[in-house]
Amino acid sequence: MTKPLSAYQQKNGAILVGDSGKNLESLTKGFATPFFLYNADHVRARFTRMKEAYLKQGLPVSIHYATKANCNPRILSLLASLGAKADVVSLGETELAIQAGFLAESVLFSGVAKTVKEIEGALRLGVGQINVESLGELERIAKIAEKMKHTGPFDIGLRLNPNVCPETHPYITTGLQENKFGLEEPAVREAVTILKSAPWLRLRGLSLHIGSQLLDLTALDEALEVGKFVQDRLRADTGWNLDRFDVGGGIGIQYAQFDESDEIAVVDQHASLLKKHLGADLDSGKLTEILTEPGRWLVARSGVLVTEVQYVKTTPHKTFVITDGGMNLLIRPALYEAQHRIEPFIRRPSNNPSLEKVDVVGPICESADFLGRERNLGDVRQDDRLAVFDAGAYGRTMASLYNQRGWPDEYIYLDGTLEKVNVSN
């Protein structure tokens, strides 16, 4: 199978874009900071590599890209052209996906708080499946669908909360009883009762998603076992043809290093795990399709946030490298204590002890506004540019206008060409 090269490389003190040999500094000279740059060649390679992993196991996996990770229209259109489907959590994301080239019937609508407007819109557009998160939501969908049943039946999935705990940050776990997501098994059985009175809705199978940034798949192994057991019981009790199983997303990346080998291996492990739990049902014809929703794994590595040093401020206690981009553009360090690698465009050696460990902070009037703490950037100076790596997922999509600093520009590098493609605001 093909092995995508690193999205960015560091050689002789320079940052290079993939295997192009192009220097990030010279490539973006004159660009106003802060800005995001996405290596779309790498996104394409990652999608191809993931698809190959499932095909090697003989698995009919529909890869639904989680648009919440990065909804730049050029990224969306590229993935749509490669055969990806879409996973959305709002009507706005649904409309963006369709505008970018995803077919409505390829859209999987997730999310815990679907409004009447969103449900009506999703059914009117003809999305492929709505994943239900609560009994109240199912009752609402049933009422709305009844009014539109002449265009049905409408496909749904029931999101099972398997009550398993992955080894990840508590804010990005989603499969525990204490989380707001999904239905526990007794609620799934109540959902079946509702569905029996709503023939214009068609249950295609269960869905589960236990959290993000998964590098150890032990908890997912457990969740799949639970989900498979519940789906088998539902099939036996109802006689319904539950021919889909949605395994969620959440495969993580190694933020601490350029080398991507470990996370490539996790995708192969993921494919083997799906074969282990679902292979027999595929062979027997009980299942015809597996759904998965990667986001971060496909796009995180592709992105860098480029920001410029405004001041280097040294106090008796600490040295701060103050930049023009902060938590308004990349909130993950403040929200999740995420560790993004930060490198200067030009790394100069330094014998100044005060520069050995610096805090890289932004312009926002909050003490939580930092991009990295206790970093060694060498002899960093005013007007230097810094690259914050692995910012292609949950960077721009979680950005805000706090302090009214404006939106950053976004650039796409694809097939040797760099173009500005900003998200509509």
Catalytic residue among 178, 316, 317, 365: 365
Distance of alpha carbon 330 from alpha carbon 394, whole angstroms: 8
Conformation bin of residue 213: beta by default, left when phi > 0, alpha when psi is -120 to 50: left
Instruction: Write the CB contacts of 25 (distance below 8 Å, at least 6 apart in sequence).
Output: 14, 15, 345, 346, 385
How distant, in Å, are the alpha carbons of 116, 226, 323 from that of 24? 46, 47, 18
User: What's the per-residue H, E or C state across the chain?
Assistant: CCCCCCCEEEECCEEEECCCCEEHHHHCCCCCCCEEEEEHHHHHHHHHHHHHHHHHCCCCEEEEEEHHHCCCHHHHHHHHHCCCEEEECCHHHHHHHHHHCCCHHHEEECCCCCCHHHHHHHHHHCCCEEEECCHHHHHHHHHHHHHCHHHCCEEEEEEECCCCCCCCCHHHECCCCCCCCCECHHHHHHHHHHHHCCCCEEEEEEECCCECCECCCHHHHHHHHHHHHHHHHHHHHHCCCCCEEECCCCECCCCCCCCCHHHHHHHHHHHHHHHHHHHHHHHHCCCCEEEECCCHHHHHHHEEEEEEEEEEEECCCCEEEEECCCCCCCCHHHHHCCCCCEEECCCCCCCCHHHCCEEEECCCCCCCCEEEEEECCCCCCCCCEEEECCCCCCCHHHCCCHHHCCCCEEEEEECCEEEECCCCC
The strand pair at 14-17 and 8-11 is best described as antiparallel
- 165 is annotated as an active-site residue: no
How distant, in Å, are the alpha carbons of 157, 201, 278, 279, 297 from that of 229? 16, 23, 11, 14, 28
Q: Which positions are catalytic?
A: 365
